[in-house]
Amino acid sequence: MTELERKHDRTPVPKDWAYAPAPEARDIVALRERYGHFIGGEWVEPRETYTTISPATEESLAEVGQATPEEVQAAVAAARGAFEDGWSDISPAERAKYLFRIARILQERSREFAVLESLNGGKPIKESRDVDLPLSAAHFFYYAGWADKLEYAFPNRRPRPIGVAGQIIPWNFPLLMLAWKIAPALAAGNTVVLKPAETTPLSALHFCDVLRQAELPAGVVNIVTGDGRTGAEIVKSEGVDKIAFTGSTEVGKAIQRELAGTGKKLTLELGGKAANIIFDDAALDQAVEGIINGIYFNQGHVCCAGSRLLVQESIYEPVVEKLKRRLTTLRVGDPLDKNTDVGAINSKQQLDKIHELVAAGEKEGAEIYQPPCRLPEKGYWFAPTVFTNVAQSYRIAQEEIFGPVLSILTFRTPEEAVEKANNTPYGLSAGVWTEKGSRILWMAERLRAGVVWANTYNRFDPSSPFGGYKESGFGREGGRHGLEPYLDFDGSG
C-alpha cells in the first residue's frame, strides 16, 4: 500500500486507492514494433508482415513476418549448415550445457514470459505463471540430462541424430509446445526450423533472445513465423529430415499425405475428445475440481481436455448440482489479473467454431447451462458452459470443441463406461475417478487413450510420455520415448 496519512489519531487512511503494481505487470515485457524471422542467428527483415493482437482487447501488439517460400528455404539452409558445421559432432555434454543454460534463463525470465504468453494468447496469468513457464523450463532441464546419455537410453542401438527437424506448433501452449519440440531435438543432436502458430508468435520470437543469451551456435534453432502456408512450405522442403506437428487432425492428415513415400520421419499430436469418468465411489468434491480443471483450464483449448464427462447414473444429480454451483464461482476476464480463472478465447476463428458447435448442441436437443457472468465488450470471450441431456451421436459429444464447453453423459456399469469412452475417433487421454485401485487398473487397461489420469486430470511431467491413438496421432513426446523420433539407429534410416 502507498504511504498512509493520519487524519485522526487512530485512523489510517490511504492516500489513494490504487493497487501497487502486480509482479506480473504488463510493462515487464518490452515488445518491439516489428519482428523479422530468426535465421542463422540473425534477425532477417521479413518481406511480408501481419499484425499480431491481444485476444482479450483486440489491441495490436506487433508486426510479425509471414514467411515466404524463399525465407523458409533460407531457414532450412541455415539449419542444415549448422548441423553439418559442428552441432552434430560436438560432444554430447557440450550440447547438454546449452540446454541447461536455456532452462535456467527461462526460469530467470519466467515472469516476463508468463506475461507475454497471457498477453498474446489470452490465457490466465496464474496458468502461464504456474504451468506453462515452470513446465517449459522443466522440459529443457529434463532433456539436458539425456543429451550425454543417449547410448544408455538406447543400449546397443547406436543412436545418432537425424539432421534438420521442421517443427510446427499450435497456439494453445505456445512456449510449452516450443519446449516439447526443441528440447528433445537438440538433445539428440539435430538442428531446428520451428514455426509458431499465427495467432501466438511472440513468445517464440522472444525466445530467440534466450538463445542469444545462452550463446547457442548460430543456425541451430531458426524461427520463422506465418500461417499455414509457411507451415506447408516447411513440410515440403527437401532439406528437412523430420516433421513434428501439433495441431488439428485435418492438417495432420494433409501432412501425412504429403510426406507419404518421402522417407521423412513424422510425429503427429492431434485432437482429442477425452472422457472424464466419475464412478459412484469417487470423492465427489475432488472429482468436481478435476472436472473443472479438466475442461475450463486454458479456456478448454487443450487437446487432452476432459470434454466428455461420463457420470455413473446413481450420482448424476449431486455431481451436476455441485458442478453448476462451482461454475458460478469461476472468474472470467482479464488474463493479466491473477484472480482470473478463465481468460480470453484465443482468436475470432476459434470463437466462431465454439459458437457453431454450441448452437448445434442446442439444436440437437441438449440442455445448456451457463453461470451468470458479465463478459468484457472487447475481445473474444465465451462463458463456461455445461450441456446435459447429451446423446452420444450429438456433434458436441463427437467433435472437438476446443473451448470451455462440457458435455455430460451417464453410464451404469464399468463396461458401459469403457464402451462410451472409446466411442470416438480420437484417443489421446482419459480420466478415471474412483476409490478402488483395482478398478483404476481395470479401466486403464481398456481405455484406448495415450494417457489415463486417475483421481487427477491435466497433469504433466517431462519424464512422462504423451501422445495418442487413432486420429489423435502417433509418436510420443516427453520421457525417453520422446527422444526416439529424433534419432536414427543402426539398421534404420
Catalog residues that contact ligand NAI under the rule CB under 6 A. Answer: 168-170, 172, 195, 197-198, 227-228, 231-232, 235, 246-248, 251, 254-255, 269-271, 303, 350, 353, 400, 402
Residue whose CB is less far from ligand NAI, 259 or 386: 259
Q: In the complex, what is the shortest distance from the CB of residue 415 to ligand NAI, in angstroms, rounded to a whole number?
A: 29
What's 83's DSSP letter? I
**By three-state DSSP, how is residue 262 classified?**
coil
Question: Smallest distance, Å, CB 456 to ligand NAI?
Answer: 20
Say whether 5 is catalytic.
Answer: no
Residue number, 97 or 353, with CB nearest to ligand NAI: 353
Whichever of 161 and 431 has its CB closer to ligand NAI, that residue is 431
Q: Which one of the listed residues 71, 303, 304, 471 is annotated catalytic?
A: 303
**What's the min distance (Å) between Cβ of 286 and ligand NAI?**
26
Nearer to ligand NAI, 115 or 345 (CB): 345
The answer to whether the beta carbons of residues 81 and 91 sit under 8 Å apart is no
Q: In a 10 Å sphere around its CB, with 0-12 CB exposed, 13-18 middle and 19+ buried, how is residue 4 labelled?
A: exposed
Q: Give catalytic status of residue 48 as yes or no.
A: no
CB of 466 to ligand NAI, least distance (A): 11
Which residue's entry shows cell 522472444? 206
Residue sitting closest to ligand NAI (CB): 231
Task: From 254, 290, 252, 218, select the one nearest 400 (Cα to Cα).
Answer: 252
* C-beta of 439 vs 448, nearer to ligand NAI: 448
Selection from 203, 179, 227 nearest residue 65 by Cα = 227
Q: Which long-range contacts (CB under 8 A, 24 or more apart) does 248-255 make?
A: 249/400, 249/426, 249/471, 249/472, 249/473, 252/473
Listed residue (261, 301, 14) closest to 176, CA to CA? 301
Out of 24, 127, 269, 477, the active site residue is 269
Cα 126–128–129 angle (5° rounding)?
60
Between strands 221-223 and 191-195, the pairing is: parallel
Least distance in angstroms from the C-beta of 183 to ligand NAI: 18
Q: Give bridge partners of residue 195 from the DSSP assignment.
A: 168
Interatomic CA distance for residues 288 and 318, integer angstroms: 10
The cell numbers describing 199, all together, are: 495467432
Question: Whole-angstrom Cα distance, residue 159 to residue 189?
Answer: 10
Among residues 49 and 248, whose Cβ is nearest to ligand NAI? 248
Distance of closest approach, residue 319 Cβ to ligand NAI, in angstroms: 26
Residues labelled as active-site residues: 269, 303
